[in-house]
Chains A and B, each alone.
Chain A
Amino acid sequence: MKTILLLSTKEMREGLRNRWVVAATGLLAALALTLTFLGSAPTGTVGAGALDVVVISLASLTIFIVPLIALLISHDAIVGEIERGTMTLLLSYPVRRRQVLLGKFLGHLAILAFATCVGYGLAAIALLVTGKAMIGAGSWAAFMTMTASSVLLGAVFVAIGYLVSALVADRATAGGIAIGIWLVFVVLYDMALLGLLVADQGRAVSGGTLDALLLFNPTDAYRLLNLAGSGDIATASGMAGTIQTAALAPAALLAALAAWVVAPMALAALAFSRREL
């Protein structure tokens, strides 16, 4: 455990020194603040609460940005260290390979969690300071859920990045594959799913099949968890219709996201343990 903590501390320190933490936090904060002020402008008299609108905007933003940041910091975690020669050195120390993987994971997760909480927290604080609107407890809960699940979504893509990093032979390949994975999960999968639904016209694809298909993409699980979570938000985000057909409870969505962390991590550990340096 001490070893894992030491490794994760080093990862965090490197993240700070390499400006990764600053860059990720700054990016998320800037986008969140922009969305907060643009998003809250028209809501004065509309039924949706100011924070609800922010949650919806930020959740949509998260789906694009957080996986990208997570893949960027994780894709060279293993293959990069192998190329630099520090991995052989590290493994000549009394360290097990799964400790290396877990230590890096905790370090990278801490960086992501910091960036997300600070970035989105700033947006919420800005709203509190400037807005006169009353924010209900339900909205706060939705905001907390959104922030926490954003970190979880980040963890998913960190784990996927490690799997890529453990499998490929060089950093450039890892980077290419990481971008491909981002495109598939964030853009192409949903387009394909939409195309399928339109072409199918509700004949063969049942509600159950659709639910299963949504769970196979972690960003969809995240989207459902946040946009269709509570009644107000679901109405405001236009996802209320989905809720009635999709029978996915938040617990199932969280379980799906957790599985999306554990499975790639386990596969990455397996690939890494078999890898000859």
Chain B
Amino acid sequence: MSLNVELKSVARHYGRVKAVDGVSFSGAPGEVIALVGHNGAGKTTLIKLMLGLARPTAGSVAVLGQDPAAGDAAVRRRLGYLPETVSFNPALTGRETLWFYVRLKGGRKGEENALLERIGLAHAADRRIGTYSKGMRQRLGLAQAMIGTPAVLLLDEPTTGLDPELRQQFYAIVREMQAAGTTVLLSSHALNELEGNASRVVILNEGCKIADGTLDELRHIAQLPTRIRLKTTEGGAGRLREWMGEPAGLRQINGHIVEIDATPEDKAAFLRRAAGEGAPFEDLDMVPPGLDELYAHFLSGRASR
């Protein structure tokens, strides 16, 4: 399968600042790749490198088989981009703005109307953008990125400032694009929302890639413990602790809730035992390590090296 996006040991330095340093990854059609990192980790610079707005100091970038800095119009037409902050002219209406971008990209006649419908902005299409809410502006931004059903979609912090419902709608559209074979690259620092939405996560720190893989793979590498929370009857915590054999790291939350951190191996053994007769608890919750924990793990691993 040909790759839509391919970065080979790409570096971009601004003077002495290494915004991106030796990053390699690739994106196949139908993949949703999340670029995760703190502010200033190099996410936006990577996206600009893929857009050809910045040239790499070293290494090579290929988008749809071409160097994006060459500005090949055929490649640009198959590329969608949503900047981190974009403020469209508030004096124009949503439809006028989208019409302009459709024309600029050589899109179908009337495509702006279809997109406005799809993005749920049809009712406000003829209002000035100055009257739009933050979420509506962000949706308009996404609509212009979707013109011409791009093969590569680059979204810079697309969900920042969106409420949970809009976030869900947004990821539903991303999944549609993914199903149509689009490679979606999105940067984020809100990690929890990527669960189930990103097929791969690339963790960046200070311009370097520190982890790359599916969430499951990353969890496996990190060997992070699963938090198991047990609930018993009021005052039954003592008996519960006894039954569990007072493991190290046990935390008593209150009179009837205790928590332990179980490594992947311990977890299975514990669950087999808990399934037996006479286990003194009423309810059990398991919280697998979230992206926040994963991220913290990889970052601390980096720091201690």
**Which residue of B54, B79, B84, B88 is within 8 Å of A92 (Cβ)?**
B79
Asked whether B100 lies within 8 Å of A89 as measured between CB atoms, the reply is: no
A187: Cβ under 8 A from any B Cβ:
no
Q: How far is the CA of A277 from the CA of B14 in the complex (A)?
A: 12
B101: Cβ under 8 A from any A Cβ:
yes
Asked whether B89 lies within 8 Å of A6 as measured between CB atoms, the reply is: no
Q: How far is the CA of A152 from the CA of B88 in the complex (A)?
A: 30
Q: Which of A10, A91, A92, A276 has most B Cβ within 10 Å?
A: A92
Asked whether A14 lies within 8 Å of B91 as measured between CB atoms, the reply is: yes
> Chain B: which residue is nearest A15 at the CB level?
B91
Interface string of B48-59 (1 = CB under 8 A from A): 100101100000
Q: How far is the CA of A93 from the CA of B81 in the complex (A)?
A: 9
Tell me whether A18 and B103 are in contact in the complex, defined as CB-CB below 8 angstroms, given that A85-B85, A92-B53, A92-B79 are known contacts. no
Tell me whether A94 and B105 are in contact in the complex, defined as CB-CB below 8 angstroms, given that A6-B100, A88-B48 are known contacts. yes
Stretch of B23-31, B70-78, B234-242, B257-265 at the chain-chain interface: B70-78
Q: Which residues of B (27-50) have their CB < 8 Å from a CB of A?
A: 48
Asked whether A93 lies within 8 Å of B83 as measured between CB atoms, the reply is: no
A95: Cβ under 8 A from any B Cβ:
yes
Q: Which residues of A (57-101) have their CB < 8 Å from a CB of B?
A: 84-86, 88-96
Tell me whether A13 and B53 are in contact in the complex, defined as CB-CB below 8 angstroms, given that A85-B87, A96-B71 are known contacts. no
Which B residues touch A93, using CB under 8 A?
A: 76, 101, 104-105
Chain A nearest CB: distance from B134 CB in Å? 14
B86: Cβ under 8 A from any A Cβ:
yes
Asked whether B91 lies within 8 Å of A18 as measured between CB atoms, the reply is: yes
Chain B nearest CB: distance from A164 CB in Å? 21
Q: How far is the CA of A103 from the CA of B67 in the complex (A)?
A: 26
Give the total number of A-B pairs whose CB atoms are below 8 A apart: 65
Which A residues touch B73, using CB under 8 A?
A: 94
Interface string of B265-297 (1 = CB under 8 A from A): 000000000000000000000000000000000
Chain A nearest CB: distance from B252 CB in Å? 51
Chain A nearest CB: distance from B2 CB in Å? 21
Q: How far is the CA of A18 from the CA of B73 in the complex (A)?
A: 31
B96: Cβ under 8 A from any A Cβ:
yes
> Chain A: which residue is nearest B76 at the CB level?
A94
Asked whether A89 lies within 8 Å of B106 as measured between CB atoms, the reply is: no
Tell me whether A89 and B144 are in contact in the complex, defined as CB-CB below 8 angstroms, given that A6-B100, A84-B86 are known contacts. yes
Which A residues touch B85, using CB under 8 A?
A: 85
Which A residues touch B105, using CB under 8 A?
A: 93-94
Number of interface residues of B (CB under 8 A): 29
Asked whether B86 lies within 8 Å of A86 as measured between CB atoms, the reply is: yes
Which A residues touch B77, using CB under 8 A?
A: 94
Q: How far is the CA of A91 from the CA of B52 in the complex (A)?
A: 9
Q: How far is the CA of A277 from the CA of B83 in the complex (A)?
A: 12
Which A residues touch B53, using CB under 8 A?
A: 88, 91-92, 276-277
Chain B nearest CB: distance from A153 CB in Å? 27
Number of interface residues of A (CB under 8 A): 22
B190: Cβ under 8 A from any A Cβ:
no
Which B residues touch A10, using CB under 8 A?
A: 100
Asked whether A95 lies within 8 Å of B104 as measured between CB atoms, the reply is: yes
B180: Cβ under 8 A from any A Cβ:
no
> Chain A: which residue is nearest B89 at the CB level?
A14
Q: How far is the CA of A239 from the CA of B77 in the complex (A)?
A: 57
Q: Which residues of B (90-130) have their CB < 8 Å from a CB of A?
A: 91-92, 96, 100-101, 103-106
> Chain B: which residue is nearest A86 at the CB level?
B86
Q: Which residues of A (162-188) have their CB < 8 Å from a CB of B?
A: none
**Which residue of A6, A84, A89 is within 8 Å of B81 (Cβ)?**
A89
Asked whether B86 lies within 8 Å of A94 as measured between CB atoms, the reply is: no
Which B residues touch A13, using CB under 8 A?
A: 92, 96
A17: Cβ under 8 A from any B Cβ:
yes
Q: How far is the CA of A260 from the CA of B87 in the complex (A)?
A: 33
Q: How far is the CA of A84 from the CA of B84 in the complex (A)?
A: 11
Q: How far is the CA of A91 from the CA of B47 in the complex (A)?
A: 13
Q: How far is the CA of A203 from the CA of B11 in the complex (A)?
A: 62
Q: How far is the CA of A254 from the CA of B91 in the complex (A)?
A: 37
A43: Cβ under 8 A from any B Cβ:
no
Which B residues touch A96, using CB under 8 A?
A: 71
Chain B nearest CB: distance from A85 CB in Å? 4
Asked whether A92 lies within 8 Å of B91 as measured between CB atoms, the reply is: no
Q: How far is the CA of A93 from the CA of B79 in the complex (A)?
A: 8
> Chain B: which residue is nearest A96 at the CB level?
B71
Asked whether A94 lies within 8 Å of B48 as measured between CB atoms, the reply is: no
Tell me whether A88 and B91 are in contact in the complex, defined as CB-CB below 8 angstroms, given that A94-B76, A95-B104 are known contacts. no
Asked whether A6 lies within 8 Å of B86 as measured between CB atoms, the reply is: no
Which B residues touch A94, using CB under 8 A?
A: 71, 73-74, 76-77, 104-106
Tell me whether A17 and B81 are in contact in the complex, defined as CB-CB below 8 angstroms, given that A84-B87, A94-B105 are known contacts. no
> Chain B: which residue is nearest A17 at the CB level?
B91
Interface on B for A, CB 8 Å cutoff?
Answer: 48, 51, 53-54, 71, 73-74, 76-77, 79, 81, 83-89, 91-92, 96, 100-101, 103-106, 144, 154
Given A84-B87, A93-B76, A276-B53, 17 further pairs, Cβ under 8 A: A6-B103, A14-B89, A14-B91, A18-B91, A85-B85, A85-B87, A88-B53, A88-B83, A89-B83, A92-B51, A93-B101, A93-B104, A93-B105, A94-B74, A94-B105, A94-B106, A277-B48
